[in-house]
Structure 1
Amino acid sequence: MEISSHPAGHDVVVIALREANLDASNVREFKETVQALVGPTATRVVFDLQGVKFIDSSGLGALISCLRQLNARRGDLRLCNLTPTVQALLALMRMNRVFQIFPDRQDAIASFG
């Protein structure tokens, strides 16, 4: 799984996922890698999903799990660079009401204030 992390301003960690799919076949690896990248103290995370073309229910569950863990630490999660297909999927599942979605990385980072 191709995932990288980059620190950004305001104590924000940007995690870039460059897999075509986030689904049952790789969700365990995704969770483990994200857990290692975020660590026990990070509270502000941006997931850059550029290139992700498909997310199934287990992938969506993994994103929700990350959001819940951050919320428990009084943190938050942003999504950015969604492909039209993924954006449509999140809208169909009404997950656009759960996640804050931004067109690009800069807007997502700036949203933390």
Structure 2
Amino acid sequence: MQAGLELVTEKRGQAIVLHPMGRLDNATATAFQQGVERVLAMGETRIVVDLAGLEYISSAGMRALLALAMQLRSRPQGAVAFARPAGMVQDVLKLAGFHQMFTIHATLEDALQG
């Protein structure tokens, strides 16, 4: 991944959990999308994005999250869930209306069950 963002993935039950850590902005959104493409290429259709490690998100980062959601919605059984946003990231997601478009879970466990 590019400087400023680390993307860790893990398999949890039937879902893949993406843990972006650092900044998701114009400089790192492409690297995030490339990581998502690798996961989708493996045939995964259920993804949880754990936002707890994300310190900053810009409009480019939000577009990357929306692109992920749109890709999954176009697949049979495709689903995306977001979990544990905090601080500035939570504020930006609320301002952008993410909480109206998606379920944003307070815990990772809730997101995995939902």
TM-score computed with the length of structure 1 as normaliser:
0.89
Alignment of 1:42-61 (within 5 A): 42-61=44-63
In 1, the alpha carbon distance for the partners of 2:35 and 2:43 equals 15
In 1, the alpha carbon distance for the partners of 2:41 and 2:20 equals 17
Stretches of 4+ moved more than 6 A in 1?
none
Please, which of 89, 95, 103 is the counterpart of residue 92 of structure 1? Answer: 95
Structure 1: which 5+ residue stretches go unaligned?
none
CA displacement, residues 63-84 of structure 1 (integer Å, 9 cap, x when unaligned): 0000000000031111111112
In 2, the alpha carbon distance for the partners of 1:81 and 1:38 equals 22
Please, which of 75, 80, 88 is the counterpart of residue 77 of structure 1? Answer: 80
Q: Which moved more, 1:77-86 or 1:31-40?
A: 31-40
1:61 to partner: Cα distance:
0.4
The structure with the largest strand share of the pair is 2
* Residue 26 of structure 1 pairs with residue 61 of structure 2: no
1:40 to partner: Cα distance:
4.9
Structure 2: which 5+ residue stretches go unaligned?
none
Structure 1 vs Structure 2: percent identity of aligned residues? 28
**Paired residue total:** 109
In 2, the alpha carbon distance for the partners of 1:76 and 1:43 equals 6
In 2, the alpha carbon distance for the partners of 1:5 and 1:62 equals 16
TM-score computed with the length of structure 2 as normaliser:
0.88
